[in-house]
Chains A and B, each alone.
Chain A
Amino acid sequence: MNKPLLHATNICLAFGGVVAADQIDFELHEGERLAVIGQNGAGKTTFINICTGYLQPTAGRIVFNGRDITGKTPRSIVKLGIGRSFQLPQLFSEHSVQQCLEIAAAARGGRLSWLTSLSDSVKHKEILETLELIGLREAAHEVAGELPEGHKKLLDVAMALMLHPKLIIMDEPTSGVSSQDKHGLMALVMQALDERKVTSWFVEHDVDIVSRYATRVAAWIDGKIAADGAPQQVLAHPKVQEEILGVTAC
């Protein structure tokens, strides 16, 4: 059994009286496509925030790719190879799609130029390739803030991809997108991730998307992981059915 890509042990965090993370032990292996399901407020996003450095746990340890990342800032964690997209896409709303990717590419390079223009300081080919991969080639010069929701989601993922991460964490990648477009969007994203060989971990509410695209599912209830394993198994678990999927026993 090879070493996990991400390994969290005994992660705890409480906000006032609410326990957001209750002694979480969690492992993620390279190549996995993990879907995380659970009610709102169950702790899914909080755990992501902890693993990406936005929040500090009160206890526990997180190891990523052999490095201890507990307590590190989002900036350092990102540089170590974790990319992230958000529930509400975090874009540079006044820049164009292409410029957003250029800033991401420049960021990967380390030192940002003072005199060389942004577009000259990055590899144009790489930007085009990513635009092509994520299906935003035509929208390259649109202003990010004015994009339709689906494109915003794609751009959010693309920006994370520009950093060549080993792991990408996506918080509700299809939320806010119409049911018609959900599958198309997810297929596009997953294809891009496969091509770049990026392990994925995504939070999702849509059971169809989960069963179609995940290789593993973790179910969160009240700050704890209640079930973890193959999608069919977890989705059929009685507690999951009751608490998350809203199916009551007859």
Chain B
Amino acid sequence: MNFDTLLLGVADGISYAGLLFLVSLGLTLIFGVLGVLNIAHGSLYALGGYVAASLTALAMRHAFDSTPWLFLALVMAAMLVGLAMGLLLDVLLLRYFQKRDPVIQLLVTFAVFVIFEDVQKLIWGTSPYAAGEIVSRLGTVELFAVTYTVYQIMVIPGIALASYLGLNFFLKKTLWGKQTVALTHHREVAMAMGVNVKKIGALVFVLGAMLGALGGALAVPVSSLTPGMGAEMIVVSFTVVATAGLGQITGALITSLMIGLARSLAVYLLPEIDVAMPYIIMLLVLLLRPNGLFTVAQSRRI
């Protein structure tokens, strides 16, 4: 195990962590504000990826094939998918199934996820899609005498970081953002003061969905799209969210990095359990801190 391999592992880890963070961010945002654990987020990831692949292919066929255009296609795919799915989930969960048990709501999202698994297969088939064009366009960069793709080491983490900062800014400085925070922590007071729950709820779902879809769209150039990619991503995202603590945004950033790196390094160092790394980490964390690493104390109930 030499230094080069280690660096490669770290680079992989950072890139994977970036994607993981985008998906987990959406997940934890939706849970933090609305109390819904959204399994369908996996579908968002997958759909984001598939739509992005189709849009970039479309763009290339119509000579919009310079890098910025392709990139725009990726982002647009995420926005579209996020908007559509976000609104769908909003209608289902915040209006139709609003008053039900959280577990029932979870199962509703599970049903939606399962439905979309087949929708993907119907629309795009089951053979893997690859669209690595953008990655090769952006070229490579050399660090410590090892070559990485610019995409992996700068674009993905960059966008992930930008999303994090953007979301923080939104929540702390904009009116809607502050209303969202108010709704999360002091629901009754916020409602009494006129915060429009329906609007904020829809906003949060769409925002969260867009982040998940963005993760999928960005994943397109670096992985091949297959049925089941949504399932894999959602389960690992859950471990990030549960390990960090539900609703913890900065916590999710740190945890994504931790789990992403652990997973990637394990591929090189401990290949027998590389797939299991996220779960092992979550198990260890929850044993010591049952509500997640970054959760603050709960208020008294009686």
Q: Do chains A and B touch in the complex (CB under 8 A)?
A: yes
Is A49 positioned at the interface, with any CB of B under 8 Å from its CB? yes
Is A90 positioned at the interface, with any CB of B under 8 Å from its CB? yes
Name the residue of chain A whose CB is nearest to the CB of B302: A86
Is A26 positioned at the interface, with any CB of B under 8 Å from its CB? no
A49 to B300: give the CA distance in the assembly, Å: 10
**Closest CB-CB distance, B300 to chain A, in whole Å?**
8
How many chain B residues touch the partner (CB < 8 A)?
A: 2
A86 to B300: give the CA distance in the assembly, Å: 13
Q: In the complex, what residues of B have CB within 8 A of residue A88's CB?
A: 302
How many chain A residues touch the partner (CB < 8 A)?
A: 6
**Closest CB-CB distance, A88 to chain B, in whole Å?**
7
- B-contact 0/1 string along A86-103, CB 8 Å cutoff: 111010000000000000
Q: In the complex, what residues of A have CB within 8 A of residue B300's CB?
A: 49
A194 to B287: give the CA distance in the assembly, Å: 47
**Closest CB-CB distance, A159 to chain B, in whole Å?**
14
CB under 8 Å from chain B, chain A span 159-201:
none
**Closest CB-CB distance, B104 to chain A, in whole Å?**
15
A153 to B122: give the CA distance in the assembly, Å: 57
A88 to B302: give the CA distance in the assembly, Å: 8
Q: In the complex, what residues of B have CB within 8 A of residue A49's CB?
A: 300, 302
A230 to B302: give the CA distance in the assembly, Å: 29
A225 to B302: give the CA distance in the assembly, Å: 22
Q: In the complex, what residues of B have CB within 8 A of residue A54's CB?
A: 302
**Closest CB-CB distance, A21 to chain B, in whole Å?**
14
- A-contact 0/1 string along B267-302, CB 8 Å cutoff: 000000000000000000000000000000000101
**Closest CB-CB distance, B209 to chain A, in whole Å?**
34
- A-contact 0/1 string along B252-264, CB 8 Å cutoff: 0000000000000
A87 to B301: give the CA distance in the assembly, Å: 11
Q: In the complex, what residues of A have CB within 8 A of residue B302's CB?
A: 49, 54, 86-88, 90
Q: In the complex, what residues of B have CB within 8 A of residue A87's CB?
A: 302
A144 to B23: give the CA distance in the assembly, Å: 42
Q: In the complex, what residues of B have CB within 8 A of residue A86's CB?
A: 302
A95 to B302: give the CA distance in the assembly, Å: 21
Name the residue of chain B whose CB is nearest to the CB of A74: B302
**Closest CB-CB distance, B98 to chain A, in whole Å?**
19
A249 to B21: give the CA distance in the assembly, Å: 63
A54 to B298: give the CA distance in the assembly, Å: 14
- B-contact 0/1 string along A63-92, CB 8 Å cutoff: 000000000000000000000001110100
**Closest CB-CB distance, B177 to chain A, in whole Å?**
26
**Closest CB-CB distance, B100 to chain A, in whole Å?**
15
**Closest CB-CB distance, A182 to chain B, in whole Å?**
22
Name the residue of chain B whose CB is nearest to the CB of A48: B302
- B-contact 0/1 string along A23-55, CB 8 Å cutoff: 000000000000000000000000001000010
**Closest CB-CB distance, A57 to chain B, in whole Å?**
15
CB under 8 Å from chain B, chain A span 107-155:
none
Name the residue of chain B whose CB is nearest to the CB of A54: B302
A87 to B300: give the CA distance in the assembly, Å: 13
Name the residue of chain B whose CB is nearest to the CB of A46: B300
A86 to B301: give the CA distance in the assembly, Å: 11
**Closest CB-CB distance, B248 to chain A, in whole Å?**
21
**Closest CB-CB distance, A121 to chain B, in whole Å?**
28
A49 to B301: give the CA distance in the assembly, Å: 11
**Closest CB-CB distance, A167 to chain B, in whole Å?**
18
A216 to B300: give the CA distance in the assembly, Å: 29
A211 to B106: give the CA distance in the assembly, Å: 52
Name the residue of chain A whose CB is nearest to the CB of B301: A88
A90 to B302: give the CA distance in the assembly, Å: 9
**Closest CB-CB distance, A74 to chain B, in whole Å?**
10
A49 to B302: give the CA distance in the assembly, Å: 8
A58 to B302: give the CA distance in the assembly, Å: 19
**Closest CB-CB distance, A241 to chain B, in whole Å?**
30
A246 to B211: give the CA distance in the assembly, Å: 54
**Closest CB-CB distance, B302 to chain A, in whole Å?**
6
**Closest CB-CB distance, B147 to chain A, in whole Å?**
53
CB under 8 Å from chain A, chain B span 159-186:
none
Chain A residues proximal to chain B, CB less than 8 Å: 49, 54, 86-88, 90
6 pairs of residues in contact across A and B, judged by CB atoms under 8 Å: A49-B300, A54-B302, A86-B302, A87-B302, A88-B302, A90-B302
The 7 residue pairs across chains A and B that have the minimum distance between CB atoms: A86-B302, A54-B302, A90-B302, A49-B302, A88-B302, A87-B302, A49-B300
